[in-house]
Structure 1
Amino acid sequence: MKHVILLSLVLASASLLRANPEIATVIDQEYGAATSEGILLLQSPASSGDPDQWTVYARDPFRQGELVRAVLNAQNRSWAPKANGAGAKLLSRVPPQPIAFNRINFRSSDARKIAQQNAALAKVNFVAAAYQLAANATTGAPEWGLALNDANGAEVGFIVISAENGAVIHQQWFNGLSSNVPGGPATSSQPGTPGEKAADDVKRTARRAWEWTGDTGLEVGRFFKRLFRND
């Protein structure tokens, strides 16, 4: 029986690094359900494989309109969370609603594969991807936004993928190809035409929707520590 329990723990720890929904479980265990149920945004720096670090933004359960932030690092085949800030200015723009982790069927590794398939169709090569996960403002469905970089660190593409069903919601490639039709092929417009301007407007709008800017160095850990009080 001990061997069975140990094997289960090992398998659970191994899957943790790939199962993004477990991030909410880690936050729940460390900071409580009030924080995990208010997670608004996951971000990771660009990496050549599945992320080994996530920054988690959540609603502050004690102060309305403010946020708390934690950084999760892969450690010993698990996640090690650390408080990394709190306040009203952690993000210049805040996602509209919490992430429904129970609706995630496509993890970051799945989103990367879908991005690779679409990049191949667009004849674009990327070597690293930076990930964001947030809820769609209208449907509440979780969505991945991947910024795709080449070997020099330059962004060569951006793609939005449903974490619920894997559909491509928007894609743009810095070779003149763009599409905002779910699952549709990339299309091009002739330079200087109304079609090109419309395509550029779509690109800017879609990209801007995913530009949540972090502000580091704000009240690290103070509000998180309050979650551990017993009184």
Structure 2
Amino acid sequence: MAKQLPYMVLKEIFSRFHAAEPEPKGELEHVNAYTLVVAVALSAQATDAGVNKATRELFKIADTPEKMLALGIEGLTEHIKTIGLFRQKAKNVIKMSQILVDVYGGEVPSSRAALQSLPGVGRKTANVVLNMWWHYPAQAVDTHIFRLGNRSGIAPGKDVNVVERAIEDNVPAEYQQHAHHWMILHGRYTCVARKPKCAACIIRDLCEFEEKTL
């Protein structure tokens, strides 16, 4: 685990991220808040590309909780059977949809506590929805962010909650909104797990990682 980078170094890192991609976007396809919640819940232990492939047709016919309930668990399962843990995820999506209809009038709530009360929605999923749909500067820490945060010194921590707090506490306020997207994309495509692409890294000179690749 690298040591926490100083504020001015973090400011330079995120300034470079911003210059390279001023408006980073999440890669999960969705058409509204509901389909975003479903897509993020389905993405646990699965790739965004795999989820998108499965949900592209699904969301054409079930883009609201009511339509998902009408499709039913068997219909939903048929659409998402290429995704890992699809049986449990299908059960969660149906249960979630029922709660959204019964408790929230078919609308997706905008509070973390309410989101986390839904089946299949953990803190990471709630933070993604808060950030991407409600534009709240929430930090959803996945494996890419956890690796990058610890490897680089951007946000070191022994678990995802500590890394989340490190981002919130240390990344300059003007970069909080897009911080997790920049970090996910950098971790997914540059600071990869096995052989990080240090030669192509725009923050190589600022990173604390000692085993930089040539």
Tell me, yes or no, whether TM beats 0.5.
no
Please give the TM-score of this superposition, normalised by the length of structure 2: 0.26
Please give the TM-score of this superposition, normalised by the length of structure 1: 0.25
The structure carrying a bigger strand percent of its residues is 1
Compare relative contact order (CA 8 Å, sep 6+) and give the higher one, 1 or 2. 2
